[in-house]
Amino acid sequence: MIGLKKGIVKVKKYNPEWQEEFNKERKNLKKIFGNVAISIEHVGSTSVVGLSAKPIIDIAIGVHSLEDLAKVKEKILKFSHYSIKENNAVGEILMRRGVPIKLGEDKPSFVTHFIHIMEIDGRKYKETIAYRDYLRKNKEVLKEYNDLKQKLAIKYQNERKDYTKAKDEFIKSILSKF
């Protein structure tokens, strides 16, 4: 099973079903994005064999320009299980896939997928792919990152933003190698 209640951190052992979940969602996203999506990649910890992860599938969609989202936004919002985050990090627009937990909620509060829309020639997209590929090739670094994630998941089990922030230094140290 994939998904977590918004804001919660639970790290689980690698599960090969995560790849299958990505493949299913990739087909959905291809139908929605059409030619706007130049690339649809499985990223994040669920994309790295052997790495523990929150059971939320991260997907990177490479587009020519973030403004291209306007071409498909209406299609996306026809589906109640998708939402588009309002305040995004520089260089990306974040979509969530999930379901509302409470009757009447208009945004997913149980999240199954994070869909990161980024400019394919942009720094954020390139770093996301490079980081994933680095972890896939470097087993010692993968183990170190896995141990860090396990420790932080216990410390920040109800504070996803703090959990994510606490991983930043490690991630930046790897990205500085590129």
Give the number of other Cβ atoms within 10 Å of residue 97's Cβ.
23
pLDDT digits (tens, 9 = 90+) for 27-38: 999 999 999 999
119: helix, coil or strand?
A: strand
Percent of the chain residues topping a pLDDT of 90: 81
Q: 76-88: b or e for each residue (b if 16 or more CB lie within 10 Å)?
A: beeeeebbbeeee
Q: Which uninterrupted H or E stretch holds 39? A: strand 39-43
Point out the least confidently predicted range of 41-45, 57-61, 113-117, 157-161.
157-161
- Per the document, the length of the chain is 178
Which residue would you say has higher pLDDT here, 53 or 109?
A: 53
Q: Which two tokens stand for residue 141?
A: 């670094």
Residue 107 has what pLDDT?
64
Q: Which domains does the chain have, with CATH numbers?
A: 4-175 (3.30.460.10)
Residue 109 has what pLDDT?
79
The neighbouring-strand residues paired with 53 are 12
Q: Which residues neighbour 19 within 8 Å (Cβ) at sequence distance 6 or greater?
A: 42, 47
pLDDT digits (tens, 9 = 90+) for 89-127: 889 999 999 986 666 666 667 899 999 999 999 999 999
Residue 2 has what pLDDT?
94
pTM score, two decimals? 0.93
Residue 120 has what pLDDT?
97
Residue 102 has what pLDDT?
64
